[in-house]
Amino acid sequence: MSSLLQDLRYGLRMLRKNPGFTAVAVLTLALGIGANTAIFTLVDTVMLRSLPVVNPQQLYRIGNDDNCCVIGGMQDNWGIFSYALYQEFREHTPEFSEMAAFQAGLQNLSVRRSGSPGAAEPYVGELVSGNYFSMFGISAFAGRALTPEDDKPNAAPVAVMSYRTWKQRFGLDPLVIGATLTFDTVPYTVAGIVAPGFFGDTLRPDPPDFWLPLATEPVVNGKEGLLNRSGSHWLYIIGRLKSGVKLASVQSKVTVELQRWLSAQSDLTGRDRPKLDKQHIVLAPAGGGVASLQSNYKAGLRPDCVDHVQSQFPQRACMTNSLQAVAE
């Protein structure tokens, strides 16, 4: 013990005599610790952490491809669907206790509070089915979440705000709940604030500020509306699989449902008909949501890649590119 103390005192004296070296050593240690912390925080976020939802292990996505944001025609490996196809799966696949659909891309919104003299401000929204929050098991922090009744054609437009947006942009103003906000030119009533910690279904740098019912999509997008275009695919689907159900069996069933639905479409061309047998769906675990970042950067976050970064510093791109992508 005395020898250790002597070594420490000697080391401290050397550091005091060489302040330049000391500064470089401390900075190097700080950079190394910071880099390792960032790496393993990213690994935890992208590869390990589940969404803050009820029983995430029960969640499966219909499809495992991350196509975005609007696609027409055949896809072979399907991952994005029209509203009509979502209805088909929801009504004919009882192996899921609940199935929700949501916009593959986000919606740029110009929002102004009614009665406010200020100009409209930019926000990001996501169109979702009325059972979106109940399917995830997410409750409202204040007010209420969206319900299936909000997602009907003649329902009054309502929106749910994220807690982050309520805090950062509205200063936790309780009067926001029940207030009218104009999204572009459409007035919406704020039904509630989502519970803190829920940032949506996808790991992304720009999570939604608002969630809007799918039924209001034609009003928001006007002539560019997609809801009633059966050939335009723009929705991701996640469902909660019932216990005891065999995944392979359900995967085969939704593939058959897809092929049957496609073959019945009046606009199916002679060129596409021979491709029907190739159209299929893979069910993917969705406890972490839509794994776009996970899929894109998982290869760069493998332990062998981390080891490669540490041993081959000049070839560190596999990790630094992943860090940069999340940071941006």
Q: pLDDT digits over 52-109, tens only?
A: 899 999 999 999 987 788 899 899 999 999 999 999 999 999 999 999 999 998 999 9
Q: Where are the domains of the chain?
A: 2-49+298-327, 56-224
Res. 35: pLDDT tops 50: no
CA end-to-end span of the chain, whole Å? 49
Cβ contacts of 78 within 8 Å, gap of 6 or more: 62, 63, 65, 258, 279, 280, 281
Burial class, 150, CB count within 10 angstroms (exposed 0-12 / middle 13-18 / buried 19+): buried
Q: In this predicted structure, what is the pLDDT of residue 153?
A: 92
Contacts for 56 with CB less than 8 Å, ≥ 6 apart: 50, 286, 287, 288
pLDDT in tens, 213-233: 999 999 999 888 999 999 999
Query: Within a 10 A sphere around the Cβ of 147, how many other Cβ atoms?
Result: 17
247 — phi, psi (to 5°)? -60, -45
Whether the CB-CB separation of 218 and 227 falls below 8 Å is answered with yes
Instruction: Tell me the chain's radius of gyration from C-alpha atoms.
Output: 25
Q: Which two tokens stand for residue 247?
A: 């995944």
- Number of other CB atoms surrounding residue 274 within 10 Å: 8
- Amino acid identity, residue 131? N
Residue 319, pLDDT > 50, answer no
- The helix/strand/coil state of 78 is strand
Q: Whole-model pTM?
A: 0.76
